[in-house]
Structure 1
Amino acid sequence: MNAIKDATKRARNTPGALGRYGEDLAARWLTEVGMSVLERNWRCRAGEIDIVARDGDALVVCEVKTRRTSPFQHPMAAVPPRKAERLRALAEIWLHEHGGPPPGGARIDLVGVTLPRRGSPAVEHARGVA
């Protein structure tokens, strides 16, 4: 039984598991604020979109950044200009492959998830970041 607990704890501590957990929280958050999640982890040759969602008649490409609480970089500061460019390019590819932009257009949002050592995770949502 302890071996299972240890394996579960190690899985939560890996970067991939941390990112998946943050994306799960972000998808739940977006749904709770009235958005519809269309796809998660959509990939093409140019990269990956964490979440593609609908907000009314607008398409939302959502980048999720998850961090443990630390005095260093806040998750909302983790999208430098180069990453923003790539997200815009990925959004264009997704739109091209899925019939073009909806009537409400498209935007890029960022969801930052901060995991404290104790207590509940904090989720922040910034709309139209790139």
Structure 2
Amino acid sequence: MNTQRALGRYGEQLAERWLRQTGMTILDRNWHCVEGEIDIVARDADAVVVCEVKTRRPGPYGSPSAGVSPLKAARLHTLANRWLTERWLTRHHTPPTGGIRIDLVGITLPRRGAPRVEHVRGVA
């Protein structure tokens, strides 16, 4: 596994822990389809939440939240609808009453100290 991939997996583990601590239930991780991958799908009360996880070290790329471009947001909407159709509706037969939301969990790994977690709700 290359360093970038390992960094991403570590960030996803931290994000999952964070989401659980805030009361969310994890429904799926690293779900793949033709259009791409969803990092984490969680349930927050009555809403289904598709979480994009961005993990960064300090450097030229800026904050993790800068990693969700309009193109990425459009892809996340496509992926969310696909997941809802293929996973949720086959089990529950009706959409979630709280709808579907797309969040960003940004993880910054400083050179020293604990990782910083930034959870932005409804980014797209």
TM-score (norm 1): 0.88
Q: Which residue of the partner structure matches residue 15 of structure 2?
A: 26
Q: Which residue of the partner structure matches residue 108 of structure 1?
A: 102
**Counterpart pick for 2:77 among 88, 111, 116:** 88
Q: Once superposed, what is the RMSD of the aligned Cα atoms? A: 1.2
2:38 & 2:95 partners in 1: Cα distance? Answer: 16
Q: Which residue of the partner structure matches residue 119 of structure 2?
A: 125
2:70 & 2:40 partners in 1: Cα distance? Answer: 19
Moved over 6 A (4+): none
Q: How many residues align?
A: 119
- For 1:27, what is the secondary structure of its paired residue? helix
Deviation, 1:69, is 1.6
> Which stretch shifts more, 30-39 or 92-101?
92-101
Q: Percent identity?
A: 66
AA of the residue aligned to 1:16: R
1:14 & 1:64 partners in 2: Cα distance? Answer: 16
1:53 & 1:80 partners in 2: Cα distance? Answer: 22
AA of the residue aligned to 2:109: L
AA of the residue aligned to 2:11: G
Residues 19 and 65 of structure 1 are in contact (CA less than 8 Å); yes or no, is this contact kept in structure 2? yes
Q: Which residue of the partner structure matches residue 7 of structure 1?
A: none
AA of the residue aligned to 1:44: C
AA of the residue aligned to 1:84: A
AA of the residue aligned to 2:4: P
- For 1:113, what is the secondary structure of its paired residue? strand
TM-score (norm 2): 0.92
The gaps in structure 2 that reach 5 residues or longer are none
